[in-house]
Amino acid sequence: MLKILIVEDEQAVREFLVKTFDMIGYATLAASTGKEALEIFETEHPQVIFLDMMLPDKNGLEVLKEIKEKDPNNIVIIVSSKTDTNIVKKAKALGAIEYITKPFFRESIRAALTNNLYRITAQDGGKPKILIVDDEEEMCYSLNKYFNRRIEADMVLTFDGEQALDLINKNKFDIVFMDINLPGKDGLTIIEEVKPKNKHTAFITITGYGSQELIQKARKLGVVDYFKKPVRPEEIFEKLKSLLIARGKYIAKQKTKEEK
């Protein structure tokens, strides 16, 4: 899971930023001083840092310099009330990706992260792998088309339970969308078999059966969400997007000239 470190001495702002990312599933850490930030950086290795410039013990530029010396690939986004152009230039020269001035909106903070997640994805080995399993071929093709228009991902489709089991055993998927009623082997049986060896994989069920018994069984197996058909692709996509963002693997598809 993506780790984010918030470095901010103002408690209200720090708590606001922590909540901003906690709400969408990130592992969020917090520090109120430069010393504490560097200690957390050494032990927890966060991939993204939101860094204030004015700290009680260290200048934000000093903290930024130390972080970049230890990990040049770390994403550092400055959040500060200081608008001095010289400080902005120095921060960017030291490796800050963005410089956001206070006050700010929650959406602008999230956007700053989302716009730079491709940097983490590139370091982690590229596009996410997604498997869609449904005996309704039209459902598979519809989701595949909807997802591919919006994100960069390696998509795999299958309409058969046995084939799905074989694919999961031979590949490391980030996310699997699984129908329950499948030819060959039902979806929940597949999840039960593969989950112990695929703890990193997020399983989401999409089915026409919505009994409480099935929902409870799915949750016990570790299914992260349960959609009952009919369901709109945009609903499913929002869940997919939040999971990919939390894993640092969300890459928005760049629009072509014809689409702009």
Strand partners, 228: 207
CB atoms within 10 A of CB 133: 28
8 A C-beta contact, residue 243 and residue 130: no
> Can you give the pLDDT at residue 171?
87
Pairing of strands 3-7, 27-31: parallel
Angle (CA) 84 86 90, round 5°: 120
Contact between 7 and 63 (Cβ < 8 Å): yes
Residue range 178-189, pLDDT digits in tens: 999 998 899 999
74-119 pLDDT, tens digit per residue, is 899 999 888 888 999 999 999 999 999 888 888 888 888 877 766 7
Q: Enter the tokens of residue 131.
A: 């498997």
pLDDT digits (tens, 9 = 90+) for 108-155: 888 888 777 667 655 555 688 999 999 998 999 899 999 988 988 888
- pLDDT digit string, tens, across residues 211-234: 888 888 999 999 999 999 999 999
pLDDT > 90? residue 208: no
Query: Taking 60 as the threshold, does the pLDDT of residue 258 lie above it?
Result: no
Return the structure tokens found at 22: 């906690």
Q: Which domains does the chain have, with CATH numbers?
A: 3-115 (3.40.50.2300), 127-246 (3.40.50.2300)
| pLDDT computed for residue 115 by the predictor | 75
Specify the DSSP class assigned to residue 231: -
pTM attached to this predicted model: 0.59
d(CA 188, CA 173): 17
**Share of residues in the chain with pLDDT > 90 (%):** 56
